[in-house]
Amino acid sequence: MSVTNATFLSPQEAALAVRYRALRARTRRLAAPLSPEDAQVQSMHDASPTKWHLAHTTWFFVRFVLDDPSAIPEGWARLLNSYYTGAGESHPRLLRGLLTRPTLEQVLAWRDDVDARVLRVLEEGRLDDARLVALRMGMQHEEQHQELLLTDIKHALWCNPLGPAYREDLPAPHSAPGRADPGVRWLHRDETVVEIGAPRWPDDGAEFAFDIESPRHRVLVPAHAIAQRPVTNAEFAEFIADGGYDTPTLWLADGWDLAQREGWRRPLYWHEDGVREFTLGGWRERDPHAPVCHLCQYEADAFARWAGARLPTEAEWEMAASACEVDGNFADDDAPLHTVAPRPAVDADAPADMFGNAWEWTCSPYVAYPGFRVLPGILGEYNGKFMSGQVVLRGGSCATPRGHVRASYRNFFPPSARWQFAGLRLAKDAG
């Protein structure tokens, strides 16, 4: 970077350049423990190879920020376009693991080249407002793929009978011996009208938010109670011991059929020995006090029914989370990358552990807020076109980069998805 040019940068653009460098370096650090063979594998349709994540996130900057065909080798664009029909054809998702070329070395070298180009146009002040919006979107997009990189490689490594660790040196997530589980405390809330959602970005608000979080709007929330903390591994083990996976009346029909077809007896990564679970650090003893994770929404819903409760709506969840600091067990460099027993609430009537640890399934379908508008252009395909057959999750997880989520953040997956770090918090109607 030339010092002369840098002096013409606005403080916002200078800060963006710093954040861009840190973001791209973090993705490289996440991939560093993996061999080229690890980075190649695709274990199922929902997951992508690490190499593809490294390349696809780079394609995003080339396509939407640089918009320069010379910045990508011939033929690669089709391989790396995930689902943007406005950006041309894309390679079938399930076949990403067959792409042995380009090699990992070529992809990493290309990342460096694209980074140099992006930083050059940014630091020379050559990005107009639309490209700056795309750059910010691309950075949020890469953070989402950082989480997917972890969840996808975890699934791939779990498929290997050797049970290899992503990182042997991850700190043990186990809580202190003898730590008391305080049991569920219910936080009662009267009927009220709340505002949820985020101001429309970049038009109405300074802070980044995805289009699906806006507009901010009012919702009538009936009287209800929400659990102070998420459901723990110990509580989910009680559900299993009580025949939860054998009791069809606890399950939605689609979930019951799927559970029978797939032979589900426990959460995705729990060992049949009843003691261990597969983590990014390999097979480890389960912490009974940590939030349960790797549930699909059907399992979360069945547990809630067994417990005489239900899943919260996203408005109930956001109302509770809005009072909390966005802090928790996120995917910092020295973090366990697994759920840990949450810190106690700051006071008796405050919710605990709303952010980080495990995404929390809600009972809310992923649909548009009233007045929703997709972003203009091809980037409008980012979120809005997936509003069918999916459910909202809230709060982030132990694989989410710190700073990525907020109270209004809406994640979404099909109710059958189990490979994300997703658990639940109970809610119930008043009375």
* Residues contributing to the site for Fe ion (CB under 5 A): 82
> Minimum CB separation from Fe ion for residue 52, in Å?
10
> Minimum CB separation from Fe ion for residue 84, in Å?
9
DSSP one-letter string for 319-372: HHHTTS-S-EE---TTS-SS--PPPPPSSTTS----EESSEEEEEEE--PPTT-
Nearer of residues 82 and 247 to Fe ion, judged by Cβ:
82
Give CA separation, 227 vs 21, 132, 299, 321, in Å: 40, 41, 18, 12
Neighbouring residues of 275: CB distance < 8 A, sequence distance ≥ 6 = 285, 286
Helix residue spans in 242-331 (DSSP H):
253-262, 297-306, 314-321
> Minimum CB separation from Fe ion for residue 394, in Å?
21
Nearer of residues 13 and 381 to Fe ion, judged by Cβ:
381
Closest CA to 280 of 419, 131, 118: 419
**DSSP state at residue 274:** S
Nearer of residues 149 and 302 to Fe ion, judged by Cβ:
149
Nearer of residues 379 and 407 to Fe ion, judged by Cβ:
379
Please give the Cα distance from 364 to 413 (Å, whole number).
11
> Minimum CB separation from Fe ion for residue 409, in Å?
17
> Minimum CB separation from Fe ion for residue 217, in Å?
27
> Minimum CB separation from Fe ion for residue 144, in Å?
7
Please give the Cα distance from 152 to 155 (Å, whole number).
5
Query: What element of type H or E holds 411?
Result: strand 411-413
Give the nearest residue (CB) to Fe ion. 82
Evaluate whether 68 touches 62 at the Cβ level (below 8 Å). Answer: yes
> Minimum CB separation from Fe ion for residue 140, in Å?
10
> Minimum CB separation from Fe ion for residue 151, in Å?
14
Nearer of residues 20 and 256 to Fe ion, judged by Cβ:
20
DSSP one-letter string for 316-331: HHHHHHTTS-S-EE--
Please give the Cα distance from 100 to 168 (Å, whole number).
27
Please give the Cα distance from 262 to 253 (Å, whole number).
14
Nearer of residues 82 and 390 to Fe ion, judged by Cβ:
82
* Amino acid identity for residue 391 in this structure: V
Evaluate whether 110 touches 58 at the Cβ level (below 8 Å). Answer: yes
Residue 9 has which token pair? 């940068």
Nearer of residues 56 and 229 to Fe ion, judged by Cβ:
56
Nearer of residues 5 and 82 to Fe ion, judged by Cβ:
82
Residue 153 has which token pair? 């490689």
Nearer of residues 143 and 353 to Fe ion, judged by Cβ:
143
Neighbouring residues of 107: CB distance < 8 A, sequence distance ≥ 6 = 51, 54, 55, 58
Please give the Cα distance from 115 to 143 (Å, whole number).
16
